[in-house]
Structure 1
Amino acid sequence: MLKQEVKRVEREQLEAYLRDFLAVDTIKDYCPNGLQIEGRPHIQSIVTGVTACQELLERALVTDADAILVHHGYFWKGEPQPIKGMKKRRVQTLLRNDINLFAYHLPLDVHLRIGNNAQLARLMDWPEPSVLASAEPEGVVMYTELSHTETAEQVALQLETKLGRSLVCSVHESQHPVRKIAWCTGGGQGFIDFAAAAGCDLFITGEVSEPTVHSAREQGIAFFAAGHHATERYGIQALGEHLAEKFGLTHQFIDIDSPA
């Protein structure tokens, strides 16, 4: 059996492809999307992960990765600008080892094929999702209608089984009927009112805020917070797999667990 040849791609070519594929220029975000730290010019091996934490960087070094692709990168709006302390160590690790860091936030959430929302629907084996048009940017909230009514308790168990963890928070009566489900992965609890207004029976996201509980109770919609990290592991994996197939690169997803 012949060993598959590993190809390589130029850094600028990869960045341009991702800008187009993820429609980066059409989405207003809280951080720069694309190449955040420049490394070596040729890329053969990529590592993907949810957040560009120090542990992910160190583990990527062991794989001899040329580039790391993440959902949560650096340089967020409103964060302190000086590069010191934790931020210095992270940036220094990348620069010393000449590793590229690419980060895609909202563009990865909303992509209709490999995005976090689309991939959660695929993981749960839900019917083909639709975009909730009232929520912006387009695709930040999706919804689907199950083929038959289930109880909130049944959906909660399915979600915990697929994600491999307990829910962070749930607001529901165990027999609450669920047919129409809306979701926004990560920190999307603020979209619960959009889901309720659209007549959804259940809204799923990663995090919970104090007002979310009251919104759910008063509007008669079940609510699950399933974990920010847990609900956003799948888009970045799908992106890495897509790039590996398109460009012939090697790809490894490294999961640095987080209870958040």
Structure 2
Amino acid sequence: MSEYATFHDLAGASVFISGGGAGIGAALTEGFIAQGARVAFVQRSDGTAFCDEIEARHGARPLFIPCDITDIAALRAAVAEAAEAHGPVTVLVNNAANDQRHKTEEVTEAFWDQAQAINLKAHFFAAQAVVAGMRAAGGGAIINVTSISYMMGQGAYPGYTSANSGLNGLTRSLAREFGPDGIRVNALAPGWVLTDKQLKKWATPEALAAHLARQCLPQHLVPADMVDAALFLASKASRMMTGQALVVDGGVVVTG
């Protein structure tokens, strides 16, 4: 039984998640599997062991497709493989990202281009790859996972925050363009989610305490906190919601 809210219309849905075997992506993959969706995910590292774990817990196995999302031809091929296995993709979750910390003075042109390729370019081309199938299926949902970093004016990674801001522009433009086809496009903006990567690299006691002090809710975010929000955006429960950014951050940024 799922620990998440149940969205019955997601049972049998063909879902494609980038970066779906680790961190937030792993939680999203499991969340959709628990709904009865057919999930394919891509990432560069081997996802076989993760798929074994999901199958043992849920009796259903996600489809792992090795792929570097900055290789657009490979990304398109992965979307096609997922559609062949599960039917046309009707839920796309552009989750993969790299929030490597960096200083402006140290950024090279190659580093900048790579940051945009991972955090923005791949999201556009993944959306491009699923649109025809969604249109033929009568509609679909695209979820671009951003973050609150650009809303905060966060320093330490300008390449990443620039791409995040760009994702919100992309979300709004695609929502306008494909709304007539019944395709909804929304952004999901997490706060500081304590994945294994964050804990290993940047979550010092001082940084954690300072960030927690900015939240309205005095609990740190974990990957599972993103699942219900993503399921909602994918489901017909949000059928008249598009072009929006849903913030899940414990109350750091207050919009409206």
TM-score under structure 1 normalisation?
Answer: 0.29
Larger Rg: 1
> Normalized against structure 2, the TM-score is what?
0.29
Larger strand proportion of the pair: 1
